[in-house]
Amino acid sequence: MKTPRNTFRSISRSTRYSCVLVGLMAIFLIVAGFYHKQGLSRFIARAAYPLTIAFVVLGHILLTDLGSNLIVATFVPVLFGAVAITLLENFFPYRLQWRPVSRDILTDMTYMLLVQSVLPKILGFSVAIFILDSLHALPKSILEVWPHHWSLFAQLVLMFLASEFLRYWVHRLSHSWNPLWRFHAVHHSPRKIYWMNVGRFHPLEKSLQFIFDTLPFLILGVSESVVALYFVFYATNGFFQHSNISVQLGIFNYVVSGPELHRWHHSKIAKESNRNFGNNLIIWDLIFGTWFLPKGQAVTELGLINPDYPDTFTSQLKAPFIKGLDKRGLEETS
């Protein structure tokens, strides 16, 4: 794959040191918030998201610029982001009753390991074996569509806009077409939201997502440095999106799909949950009229109509194949 014209090494020494200082400042402010919760809780509500995102992105840039292995430079900042979000959930929870119990953690750790870590590697290997080797049969003009000569930042923006557009419509269809909804219902099954259940997706739905938000860019040969930075933001924003942290994103609610918006998407009430479909960005919801954040209100109940929907990993693998399981209880209350 081709390398973007402007790589991380083009960043000046003063800029790199500034990044380090910003990262250290973020850590200091978060730690200070832990010890002075009352005094800084309002500040943390507004600053936790941008500071955490900035820290992991800048950490990735610095590690890459220092010559670290790309895998290390990608996953170490994401791991630090997960730790920071876990601590923020503990000290600044949005709702105490949303704190997970051991049963929740076990289920979601299984999803994280098998569906979010192992499955993508299997899918990527399958693509390399069965698809990429056949690309030489495609017209050269198709393979050169991607603007490799653009700057890293410009390519990253293009990748986000394109992948989010595809995921927006897949997500929206998953709420309106019952065969897809039965699989997507697994993701909506939790009755509490915390960062780890961002990974609760049925393996077949995860494979569908891979087709739309990863496969096109593998075929087009998007460079590893672009994909890595995309993943750093994608993962950390996803953790934050599902987090049980008391935040106020303000103007960011018109750019990213953050926790304030995504909580409404997990509402038990269909007219509320059929909104805010954006995976990372909320731009397509604004354009297509599905953005939803009622002023001065808070989401009530989360989850599915059926209060007895399965909640273990193995039982949820089978759940989509049981017709109407997600809606049981609807007839009883109507």
* DSSP assignment letter at 274: S
The yes-or-no verdict on residue 242 having pLDDT over 80 is yes
Segment 161-181 shows an average pLDDT of 96
The yes-or-no verdict on residue 122 having pLDDT over 70 is yes
Name the token pair of 128.
């390399």
Write the pLDDT tens digit of every residue in 294-325.
998 999 999 999 999 999 999 999 999 999 99
Task: For residue 245, list its beta bridge partners.
Answer: 93
Segment 189-198 shows an average pLDDT of 96
The yes-or-no verdict on residue 22 having pLDDT over 90 is no
Name the token pair of 130.
């069965």
Structure-token match 């074996």, residue found: 129
Segment 200-221 shows an average pLDDT of 91
- Cα→Cα distances 308→68, 98, 311, 328, 329, Å: 48, 18, 8, 8, 9
The yes-or-no verdict on residue 25 having pLDDT over 80 is no
The SS3 assignment for 188 reads helix
Q: Comparing 41-50, 123-132, 251-260, which segment has the lowest mean pLDDT?
A: 123-132
CB count within 10 Å of CB 219 equals: 17
Segment 44-50 shows an average pLDDT of 87
CB count within 10 Å of CB 256 equals: 22
* Region for residue 200 given its phi and psi (left: phi exceeds 0; alpha: psi -120 to 50; beta: otherwise): beta
Structure-token match 């009352």, residue found: 38
Segment 58-77 shows an average pLDDT of 88
Top-confidence residue, 103 or 30: 103
Domain boundaries, the chain: 104-333
- Please answer whether residues 219 and 202 qualify as being in contact, where contact means their C-beta atoms are separated by less than 8 angstroms: no
The yes-or-no verdict on residue 181 having pLDDT over 60 is yes
- Cα→Cα distances 56→9, 92, 197, 232, 262, Å: 18, 20, 20, 7, 21
Which residues neighbour 281 within 8 Å (Cβ) at sequence distance 6 or greater?
160, 161, 164, 255, 256, 257
Write the pLDDT tens digit of every residue in 90-107.
988 999 999 999 999 999
